[in-house]
Amino acid sequence: MKSSLKSPLFEPINGESCFYNGGRDMLIKTRRSFALAPSVLILIAAFLLGGCGLSSHKNLTPPESVRTHKVVRTAYAQLGKKYRPGGASPQKGFDCSGLVWWSYLQNGVKVPRRSTEQAKTGRKIPKKSAQPGDIVVFRINRNPAGLHTGIYAGDGKFIHSPSSGKQVCLESLRAPSWWSDKLWTIRRPGG
């Protein structure tokens, strides 16, 4: 296989040539051997050494953030499961608080089972500061027990198990929507 393509990343050895096919992330060589250019070796060494001590640990994702993203993925995987009063499993179905409770439990986080208790768990978060995995709480009627919960999925959407005859779904919190008018509080479980 002869090619007229050349790359500064690779130098020919004994008249053989190699090149990098950027479109496929593959190394293509025309015979049997190749060598990296010395400048590339220096860049690789600088990159590896530069990563030690120069990076800021402030930019690392805290474990709680990773866990809450997993909670969203867990809840997302339940889309289409049937609503069931008192339900808290994929096999039986979910009510609103059962979906929240089960999704967190699958990721090693304990939250209360009932929506009235989920409305008080963790700390209160301003709407503009909501992050994926936060519990969204809605006041759906004036009854003190008239609360509904779901999991904020990001981008102005949340995952919940709405009501009898419906399925776990993803809905918008953005106005105008029935849910945006009913949003009561946002809670962040844990630390």
Hey, which residues does 60 pair with through a beta bridge? Answer: none
Other CB atoms closer than 10 Å to residue 37's CB: what's the count?
Answer: 13
> What are phi and psi for residue 60, nearest 5 degrees?
-70, 145
Domains along the chain with CATH numbers = 10-54 (no CATH), 62-188 (3.90.1720.10)
pLDDT attached to residue 143: 79
pLDDT attached to residue 191: 53
Q: Check: CB of residue 169 under 8 Å from CB of residue 162.
A: yes
3-state secondary structure the chain: CCCCCCCCCEECCCCCCEEEECCCCEEEECCCCCEECHHHHHHHHHHHHHCCCCCCHHHCCCHHHHHHHHHHHHHHCCCCCEECCCCEECCCEECHHHHHHHHHHCCCCCCCCCHHHHCCCCEECCHHHCCCCCEEEEECCCCCCCEEEEEEEECCEEEECCCCCCECEEEECCCCCHHHHHEEEEEECCC
Print pLDDT tens along the chain (191 aa): 444 444 343 344 444 433 333 444 333 344 444 454 555 455 555 545 544 444 444 444 445 667 778 999 999 999 999 999 999 999 999 999 999 999 999 999 999 999 999 999 999 999 999 999 999 999 998 877 899 999 999 999 999 999 999 999 999 999 888 999 999 999 999 85
pLDDT attached to residue 66: 74
Residue 161 tokens read as 């198990």
